Structures are given as C-alpha cells and as structure tokens.
Chain A
Amino acid sequence: MTAFSSSISGTKVIEGPDARALIISTVASWHRAWKTMSDHKGELVISLENVTEFDAFGLQLLASFVQSARRSGRVLTIRGASDALREAGEKIGFSPSALGLEPDTRGMDVADLREGSATTVQ
C-alpha cells in the first residue's frame, strides 16, 4: 500500500495507506506513512476523512502521533474527524484530547483549520 502526501504552502497532508480502516491489520502501513512526516517542520495534516473503522491499535497509533506532535510543538490537524472516530474513542476509552479531537488538557491552543471537520492540536 502506498501513502499519499502532498505539500502545499508548508502544510504537509498525509493520507493513509488504507482509506477505510485504521486497525491492527493496517497500523503498520499507517505508521510508515505518517513517519514520512517526521522531518517536516511545518504544519501537519492527517486525513481520516474516509476512515470508518478504528480499533484500539489504530487509536493508539493516532494518540502516539498526537502526543509526539505536541511534544515537538508542531501544529497537527486531523482532517475528517468522523463520528466513527469519536464513537470508537468513546467505546475504547480514549479521551477526545488523547486523539487530538479536543484541546490538550494541559490547555494548549487549538485552532480549527477546516470548516468544522478538522481539529488542530499544538
């Protein structure tokens, strides 16, 4: 599977290798795809618009990415934070903050960059 990325005006957008699932069988591919962003110094955008299936391993990957972005002080936007992601977060016990859907509980700034469907964490 191939990761797709594009860079527009300093914003790097990464789509996952599997557009529909972020689960144990696909996390390794997602991990590789998102790792390509590690050198990027500007704003990061993760696209989850078409992802309808999440499990604990998928959410763990996302939470790790969010945490690392926070620690490095970079702006991360989750584009397409669907109901499926929120429901999975609730069901599996992840807080919205851990998944980058809400501000970090430590009170860091958050800015919506895309018409209500994206959340940015910093």
Chain B
Amino acid sequence: MTPSQLAGTFILEAEDLLNQIEEVVLDLDKNTADPEAVNRLFRAFHTIKGSGAMFGFDAVASFTHQVETVLDRVRNGSLAMSRPLVQLVLNARDHIKILLEKSADVPASVHVAGESIVEALKALLGPSVPSAAIIPAAIPAAIEPAFAANAPASWRIYFRPAHNIAATGQNPVALLNELRALGSCRVKCDTAAIPPFDQLDPEACHLAWEVALTTEKDANAIRDVFIFIEGECELEIERLAATPASQPALAPQAPLSAMISAEPAKTAAASPSPTARAIAGKDSSVRVPSDRLDRLVNLVGELVMNQSRLSQVADRSDQSDLAVPVEELERLIAELRDTVLGIRMMPIGATFNRFRRLVHDLSLELGKEIDLVTEGEETELDKTVLDQLGDPLVHLIRNSIDHGIELPDDRERSGKPRRGKILLSAAHIGSNVVITIQDDGRGLAVEAIRAKAVEKKLVAPDSNLSEREIFRLILLPGFSTAKTITNVSGRGVGMDVVQREIDALRGTIDISSVPGQGTTISATLPLTLAIIDGLLVSLGEDKFIVPMSAVVENVELTREQRTRNNGRNVVAVRGDLVPYIRLRETFALPGDGPDVEKIVLVRMGGERVGLVVDRVLGSHQTVIQSLGRFYRDVGVFSGATIMGDGRVALIFDVGGLVRFVDGKNGISAKAPPRDSGARPLSACSINTFNT
C-alpha cells in the first residue's frame, strides 16, 4: 500500500469509528450512567488518535487526545457523564469528521471551532486537575503521562496474540514495551505452543506472554495497550490482591502465576475493534469501491440480455441439442445475477442510524423530547436505492419532528407522555421494501389540508375527496399548512421533493393519520434498481415494460365497455370503479387498437389505476438502462431495456405517467380545475378524464 492508500484506509476506518461514536453518544444521551458505553467511546477515540498519529493526521490526533483525556476522567469516575458533555463529545466528533474531510487544507475557521471545543473540554476538567498537555502525535498512547496518580498496584496480564498478529502490523515486543512504560514489569514468554520446526510457520505467532506489572495506572490504561489487537488476542488482566509497592522484583525463576493470590478483577478481551478486525483481515467483508460493483452489475446486465437473445435464437433453431446447454446457461446466469445483485444489498440500519443524530439535534433545537425507535435495521436494499433514500427520509422525519410531535407541555396537557416517539421501520413485503415513519404526534388536520388545497386551487371547493386522497395532497408542490416557516420545515418544498425522489426510486408513498394520535407515512420501494421483474406489454408494434412490483392484476377492456362508459375512462373491477389511462391515446398512436384490450391495474400510493395496452406479453427480467441525457426529463419513462431480439422496450414510470396524464388533462397543480370536482388523478381513486 502506498502512503496515500494507507491514509485513505485510515479515513474510511475513522469514519466507521465516528459513526460508532455518534451511535454510542446518542445512547449515552438516554442513559448517561453506562460505563461500558463510556469505555467504548474512549476506545474509539483512542483508536482514532493512535491511527491518526500513525498516518500523519496530527491535527486529528492532537484534538482527539483532548476528548480522550476528558473521557478517561469519566471512566475513572472522577468526572460525571452529563448531557452537556454528551453534546460536547458530539461536537468533538463532528469536528474530527471535518478535520478528516479537509485534511489537506483545514481552514482557519475550523481550527477556531476546534479550539472552542477544546476550551470547553478543559473547562469540564476544572482547575484542580492538571490538564494533559497535547502530546506529540507520534508518541504511543500507552506512554502518555498519567492523567491522575493512583496508589501502585500489581497486575497479572496474560495475552496470547492471534497467529496473524504480524499481518496486522502489530508487534508483541512493542506491546511489551508499552507495558514497561506503565511501570515495573516482568515478562515470561510461554513457548509451549510452538510447533516442531518442520511444521512451523515462522511468520505466525505461537507465543503467549504472562506479565507481572506494578503500576499506578488502572485496568483501563493497561487494556489500552492492547487496543489495536483487542478481539484478536486472548487477554486477561487481573489485579493482584497484595499492593506491591515495596515488593522487590520477582525472582527470576518464580513462575508468575505463583504471584497471583487473588483475582478480584479479571478483564477479558473486549469486542473486536473495527480497525483491528479490518487490519487483521478477519472480517468477513471486504471493502470494494462501489463503482467496481456497479461495473460488475452492468456486465451481468449485459450477460442477461445476451442470454435472452441466445434463448430466442435457440427457440427458433431446429437444433434440439442447443436447448439443454442454453437452459443450463440461463440457470447459471440467473444465479450469477442474484449473487451479484446480492453483493450490492446492504442493511438499512446504517441509514437509519443517521437519523438518530437528526432527531437528537432537531429535538434540542425545537425544545421537544423525542425518542427515535428503529425496527428492521437488518432489512437489505440495493445500495443505489439506499444512497438515494436518505434525503426523502430526512424530509419525512424533519416533518414529523417539526409538525407532528407536540411540545412536551402540550403533550402532557393532552394526556400523552412528554416524550414523543418516532418509529422508523423497514420490512420486506414481496419484492419490495416498505419503509414506515410513524409518529405519535398531533396527526394531520384533514380540514386544514382541504382548505389549503382549495385556497391554492389544487382542488375544487366542492370536490368529494376521501380522507386518504386529502392526505396525499400534501405531496403536491407548494403545499404547506404550517402557520410559521421554520428553518426545519414549513416552506412546502419538502413533501413534493419526497414524492419526486420516491418516484425516481420507482416507489410509492402512502399516508394515513389519526387526529391526536399521529401520522404514518409508508414508502414502498423496489429492492433493486438494476434488474427488475417487469410485465412486457405491447402497443402497436412497440413494446413496453410495466414494473411488476406495481402490477396488481390484468383485466380485459372491450370496445363495447368503452362505448358503454360514454368516454369516461373508468372500469368496474369487482364492484369498484377504477380510472384508467388509454396509452394508445396518450401516446397518439395511429389506429384504434384491438377489439379487446388489456388493462394492467397498477397500485400507486394505495390506489389503483389502469394502464390500457394492446396485449400483455408476459413477465420479463428487465435490465434497466438509463435513457441518456436527451430523455432525462421525460417523466413518463424511467429507463429502457434491450429485448432478446435486440429491440428497445421503454420502462414506464407509473407515477410519472399518471402525473403526465393529469397535466395533459389540465388538472395538474399548476393549472387546477375549477369545474365539477375534478381532481388530480394522483390524488384520486375514482376519476373521470379523457386523454
């Protein structure tokens, strides 16, 4: 690895640690009396400091040292963890993140901000405690000056490193040196596990050490020596009963274990640090640049398309011996496709964790008390979907915090607990993932939404809208019922952005709410954006794909039915009237189409809409290709795919198509109708419109 690659690896691992720090600090915010959380926090900062110094991030190392000093006081019990300290540690964590991001050229303003955090940290330490000087970055952590002097105690330390300790860049001798720096030390190496010479892997470590240490430092300081290999070694730290201040050096031949008279405190190795795991290569995961994965997915896409062509050729061919190998190839490629797409699947938990901080910060800002509860963090989604999901979820959660959850006093007055709750959950349902944001706030005011929609001419005053249709109005551009505009939300630019971004992900939004009890917003998303199951349909000579995840069922539409409806584009499906779009008319295709057409019923935001096509050809594994920049703004199609015969089939963006038809009918948000209760199709379950 080159130095810049090493630095890059450090930054990646430091970012992981900073995410962990944020998580732990937010836990501490709820329960400040969790010693293990403080230890985890300390170790994470300690690792960042040590690694930062090692890779030349001196500003990071120096700054982190200050945080570590304070946390050391907390874990020693001489400083209490408090809410202000929690906030300070969060600020420090953010500052380190900035230092890492701007490592090449840190602006003076960032340094000033860092100094103010350091001053605040020092103020917490108080005048009675000598403030630890900023250590030179290269000095190993374990030989830093003591933070506080304690009475000397004797310790027995046993550690057996992992065989591959050398591969981690760690050296047992360096660890022994660090222990020596803590106090007087006697070391005994256990050589019993060394294999016979001809079976020995000379670069693997088969040794263990038993160390008798007399030091003023506590168990944490000793454990910190092993911080880079914790989880990668057997480690026992035991405090001996006798205080050996006056004890002479151990007799050379005496086994160290004989020194142990009691074992009141035994510290086992803690859970592995990510840095140690990553360096040791024992993690079952490998970091791969996402563009390489994208390339792999694209190649598999090409393979799927070519296999499809090959299958068609084989079908047309008279050579029957082609059938078996082509089928086998099809099976293998399907397996390869699933495996490769599986590589890009990531649990949504990391995305969820980002919102804990958001909830914490906004709650403070707005004077609210809110718990964020997450469920289904293990639910996996394609990384591409996850990457694009963050912004809409931020909007939704901000709205819940700002408009949904009431102030604590207001909640109390209405008989609710002072602390509000936002439940963020994810679950697989069929080939989709449903992400739900549920709050226990005041709920949506149906009448206020309706009045605002009428005022903004989004719906006609006499329109007959169901509650669910009214809720969906908040997704229209420019809609906001907030009485005051805050810097959190209330400008009406959030929810339509959410709608657009969820559309772009081929997803749908559903809203339900109970006044006084809260609001639930569900986003249903496809698992992946790369290859989808599609329903292949035809219109004239052209073929199109309807994403299968949106398809509910197919029904027939006869010429007679159309005539009977007198031009109203609705069809009765088991007693319900469902609006439909005649795509042949929408796209101005020549001819009148077959006598019996097919209606593909799709679900959009909890409502059904029909798409009338000439024929339904069947399901199709669809490798999604982008349309290119010339067609970027065509909202009706979300992409294209290449068929087995080499022809292109466009993929419908169902939401975009419905909005396009709304607009074409003059009932879009920009030009709302004033007549007879016509409503945007995107907000209706029953509509009558012509294309």
Contacts and interface: CB of A to CB of B under 8 A. Distances in A.
Interface string A43-72: 000000000000111011101110110010
Contacts of A38: 197-198
B198 A68 contact: yes
B191 A98 contact: yes
A95 B202 CA distance: 19
A95 B188 CA distance: 8
A34 B196 CA distance: 13
A110 interface: no
Contacts of B176: 91-93
Interface in A5-31: 24, 27-28, 30-31
B147 interface: no
B187 A56 contact: no
B195 A64 contact: yes
B205 interface: yes
A27 B206 CA distance: 14
A16 B203 CA distance: 16
A60 B194 contact: yes
A91 B187 contact: yes
A94 B203 contact: no
Interface in A76-122: 91-95, 98
Contacts of B166: 24, 57
A64 B194 contact: yes
A39 B171 CA distance: 33
Interface in B504-563: none
A93 B256 CA distance: 11
Given A60-B191, A93-B176, A93-B209, A24 B200 contact: no
Given A64-B194, A67-B196, A93 B205 contact: no
Question: Which of B171, B196, B197, B209 has the most C-beta atoms of chain A within 10 angstroms of its own C-beta?
Answer: B197
A35 interface: yes
Contacts of A93: 176, 187-189, 209-211
Nearest to A31: B202
A64 B200 CA distance: 8
B160 to A, nearest CB: 12
B200 A31 contact: yes
Question: Which of B188, B191, B209, B211 has the most C-beta atoms of chain A within 10 angstroms of its own C-beta?
Answer: B191
B493 interface: no
A61 to B, nearest CB: 5
A27 B202 contact: yes
Contacts of A63: 191, 194
A60 B196 contact: no
A68 B196 contact: yes
Contacts of B195: 64
A30 B206 CA distance: 17
Contacts of B197: 31, 34-35, 38, 64-65, 67-68
Question: Which of A28, A30, A56, A98 has the most C-beta atoms of chain B within 10 angstroms of its own C-beta?
Answer: A56
Contacts of B206: 60
B485 to A, nearest CB: 64
A68 B187 CA distance: 24
A95 to B, nearest CB: 8
A30 to B, nearest CB: 7
B176 to A, nearest CB: 7
Interface string B152-174: 00000000000000100001110
A28 B187 contact: no
B205 A57 contact: yes
Question: Which of A24, A93, A98 has the most C-beta atoms of chain B within 10 angstroms of its own C-beta?
Answer: A93
A28 B194 contact: no
Contacts of B326: none
A31 B200 CA distance: 9
Contact of B203 (A24, A34, A95): A24
Nearest to B193: A60
B257 to A, nearest CB: 14
B207 interface: yes
Nearest to B253: A95
Contact of B200 (A61, A91, A94, A95): A61
B205 A55 contact: no
B191 to A, nearest CB: 5
B232 to A, nearest CB: 15
Contacts of B203: 24, 27-28, 57
A56 B205 contact: yes
A71 B191 CA distance: 15
Contacts of A94: 189, 191
Nearest to A59: B189
Contacts of A92: 172-173, 176, 187, 189
B191 A24 contact: no
Contacts of A64: 194-197, 200
Contacts of A55: 171, 173
A64 B199 CA distance: 10
A61 B196 CA distance: 10
Contact of A24 (B171, B188, B189, B207): B171
Interface in B193-243: 194-198, 200, 202-203, 205-207, 209-211
Nearest to B256: A93
A60 B207 contact: yes
A75 B563 CA distance: 108
Contacts of A67: 191, 194, 196-197
A122 B173 CA distance: 29
Nearest to A30: B202
Nearest to A68: B197
Closest 6 CB pairs of A and B: A93-B189, A93-B187, A68-B197, A27-B202, A31-B202, A64-B197
Given A56-B173, A68-B196, 13 more contacts: A24-B166, A34-B197, A35-B197, A56-B189, A57-B166, A60-B191, A60-B202, A60-B207, A67-B191, A67-B197, A91-B187, A93-B176, A93-B188
Interface of A: 24, 27-28, 30-31, 34-35, 38, 55-57, 59-61, 63-65, 67-68, 71, 91-95, 98
15 contacts: A27-B202, A38-B198, A56-B172, A56-B173, A56-B189, A56-B205, A57-B205, A60-B202, A60-B207, A68-B197, A68-B198, A91-B187, A92-B173, A92-B187, A93-B189
Interface of B: 166, 171-173, 176, 187-189, 191, 194-198, 200, 202-203, 205-207, 209-211
